[in-house]
Amino acid sequence: MHGKTGCCVPVVNNDLTEYFCDMHIHIGGTRSGKPVKITASRQMTLTSILEEASERKGMDVIGIIDAHSPEVQEELIDLIKSGVALEHRDGGILYKETMLILGCEVEIKEEARGEAHFLVYMPYLREMQSFTTWLSDRCKNVTLSSQRIRTSLNELQSYVEQAGGLVIPAHIFTPHKGLYGNCTDSMAEVLDSAKIWAVELGLSANTQMADQLSELANKTFLTNSDAHSLGKIGREYQSIRMKERSYREWEKAIRRENGRGVSVNYGLQPQLGKYHQTACHSCQSLLPADALGRCPECGHKQIVRGVAARIEELADVPLGTHPAHRPPYVEQVPLEFIPGVGPKLLQKLYDAFGTQMNVLHRVSRNELAVVAGEKIADWIDKARGGRLSVQAGGAGTYGRIVED
């Protein structure tokens, strides 16, 4: 399902405005240097993320999903006390040009099933602090990200609902701790699906693929970066219609209430994702979808089933069938994936045009050529519409752009 990229912010229609939103960003470490997300860059502090999102990426709304960590909360409190950040009356915290929604990623393992990751969002800092207390009784180290918690999915849903928050399954198809990829064949087997308003597709799937599962027909699809470094912020995002930027407005959009909702999903071409195709964990050879046993190339015993193969296994809806509420999915390649776009050129583009959202959505091809040259301008122009050729990724290795 391809859409055509255009200018998306600000567009006002019936008192609603389009906002660019990336709702899954990790914190690598606290301002004192202590780790939060072990696999994320230590440069990913709360303040550095807010600065990057506001001043370079041009994100209107972000979700930091390590806001449960006590030191992160202390840093946020100091930003509020100093007047640099402001808590919105309807939830969320404004920092310069970006609204922060407080989130947390947790891991749950139901009995006799694989573990899976879930995103929990809370409207206010006090609710997130209470959630931290609840978590601390159920995990080994509440300061770290993506901790396995000793609870059931139903208990988690019950607590979050009472606190006024939302639970959203994360990167649902990935073999690495996705709901369908590692835990269950059906959402309804492990949780109350009526209380799940949205799911996160992950980098290796798109709308076309996910709508082959009938139980997802009434869910809002989210496309988020799952950023572990500053450069990855905004590699996937969405444009969301809201009256203003606040937690309550975002929640209404997730529920698709009163005209609010996701209007465009901007995501990677699925082949660029790390788990799109079945592959060998050792030699990274791409293998047939139904490959089993040892790798025929190197003999390694761990073959990682790809997202495409898993969706094909679960599909019960013909390809190309979509519910009426489903917005366009624009396969848009992030600037960092484009050959020749390194840190120096990125900085030149930011200096000339302000933010990544301006480069991807608002600047003409001719304007880009003046700064980046004809070839890079052509690459970026093709990236806007998903017209670049891609070599598929798998087994934890990203795909890549290739010459036509």
pLDDT along the chain (404 residues), means of 10: 36 79 98 96 97 96 98 98 98 98 98 96 98 97 97 98 98 93 95 97 92 98 97 95 98 97 90 64 56 60 73 93 96 80 91 92 92 90 72 55 58
Q: How far apart are CA 232 and CA 382, in angstroms?
A: 20
| Strand intervals (E) in 6-45 | 12-13, 16-25
pLDDT tens-digit readout, 229-258: 999 999 999 999 999 999 999 999 999 999
Q: How far apart are CA 336 and CA 235, in angstroms?
A: 8
Sign for the pseudo-dihedral over CA of 172, 174, 180, 184: negative
Model pTM score: 0.89
Q: How far apart are CA 66 and CA 363, in angstroms?
A: 33
List the one residue out of 2, 3, 4, 149 whose CA is nearest residue 68: 149
Query: What's the confidence (pLDDT) of residue 204?
Result: 83
Please, what are the domains in the chain? 12-271+322-330 (3.20.20.140), 335-384 (1.10.150.20)
The partner residues of 101 in beta bridges, in order of sequence, read 63
125-136 vs 70-81: helix crossing angle, rounded to 10: 160
List the one residue out of 167, 165, 191 whose CA is nearest residue 180: 191
pLDDT tens-digit readout, 35-70: 999 999 999 999 999 999 999 999 999 999 999 999
The partner residues of 220 in beta bridges, in order of sequence, read 198
> How many C-beta atoms lie closer than 10 Å to residue 149's C-beta?
21
Return the biggest CA–CA distance within the chain.
60
pLDDT tens-digit readout, 352-394: 999 999 998 889 999 999 999 999 998 888 877 667 666 555 4
